[in-house]
């Protein structure tokens, strides 16, 4: 019977356990090194937010062709944009930014023009001069000028064109609020409307139709245009002026 000393075995087992512990500690250290951010790096929710912002900035910098953000539009400007868009005065390309028309109606005639556009859709009635009864062309212009700036124009279109208090202007001088005249009944000043800008005017067209906006550059109106007149709207606004 042989007796074997267990001392060497104990020393071997202890050495193995020590080696295993060292390996585990080393592995843990490697893992921590892989997940621990460099010194000075902020952690937590705020740190993550900073990381995300930096990542977004780096991504944007790596894409030089990225379109710049659009300029912020003020609430008042946006409201006018929506109004004009709903009224059909802005096309799709113009809705994303202030257009020349948008700028033009924000001058001394803006109240008059916007007041006129509020009557879009009111039916045409020959001899009419009110919302309840409808409008004809000169009844419409007379109503708008009297209601918005206190200027009472003559009743008929030809009388408005010949009013000595109104300034005759060329077509290339037109501004929002000017009166525009056409020959639609073989008479020089047989039809009248109000210029709103960008070559467009608002008027009460004919029986069976309603107040609407049309383009003076359309062939029908372009060849029938006979002149334009301008009132002193600032003077009219200071006090009612009658004819």
Give catalytic residue positions.
Answer: 137, 191, 203
Burial of 186 (0-12, 13-18, 19+ CB in 10 A): exposed
**End-to-end alpha carbon distance in the chain:** 143
Q: What are the beta bridge partners of residue 124?
A: 135
Q: Which residues of 73-98 are buried (b: 16+ CB within 10 A; e: fewer)?
A: eeeeeeebbebbeebebbeeebeeeb
| Phi and psi at residue 140, to the nearest 5° | -70, -50
Which token pair is 118?
């509020």
DSSP strand E in the chain: where? 129-130, 134-135, 167-169, 179-182, 191-197, 200-203, 212-215, 225-230
Contacts of residue 160, defined as CB under 8 A and 6 or more positions apart, other chains included, come to 138, 141, 142, 153, 154, 166, 179, 181, 189, 192, 229
């Amino acid at each position: 019977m042989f007796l074997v000393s267990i001392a060497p075995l104990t020393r071997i087992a202890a050495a193995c356990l020590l080696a295993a512990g060292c390996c585990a500690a080393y592995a843990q250290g490697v893992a921590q090194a892989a997940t621990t951010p460099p010194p000075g790096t902020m952690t937590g929710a705020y740190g993550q937010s900073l990381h995300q912002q930096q990542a977004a900035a780096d991504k944007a910098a790596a894409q030089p062709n990225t379109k710049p953000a659009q300029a912020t539009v003020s609430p008042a400007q946006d409201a006018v944009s929506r109004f004009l868009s709903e009224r059909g005065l802005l096309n799709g390309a113009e809705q994303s930014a202030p257009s020349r028309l948008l700028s033009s109606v924000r001058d001394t005639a803006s109240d008059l023009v916007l007041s006129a556009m509020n009557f879009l859709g009111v039916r045409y009635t020959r001899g009419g001069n009110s919302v309840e009864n409808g409008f004809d062309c000169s009844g419409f212009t007379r109503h708008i000028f009297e209601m918005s700036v206190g200027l009472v124009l003559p009743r008929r279109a030809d009388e408005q064109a010949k009013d000595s208090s109104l300034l005759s202007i060329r077509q290339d001088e037109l501004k929002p609020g000017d009166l525009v005249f056409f020959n639609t009944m073989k008479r020089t000043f047989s039809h009248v409307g109000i210029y709103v800008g960008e070559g467009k005017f608002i008027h009460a067209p004919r029986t069976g139709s309603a107040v609407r906006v049309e383009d003076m550059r359309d062939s029908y109106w372009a060849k029938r245009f006979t002149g334009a007149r301008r009132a002193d709207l600032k003077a009219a606004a200071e006090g009612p002026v009658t004819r």
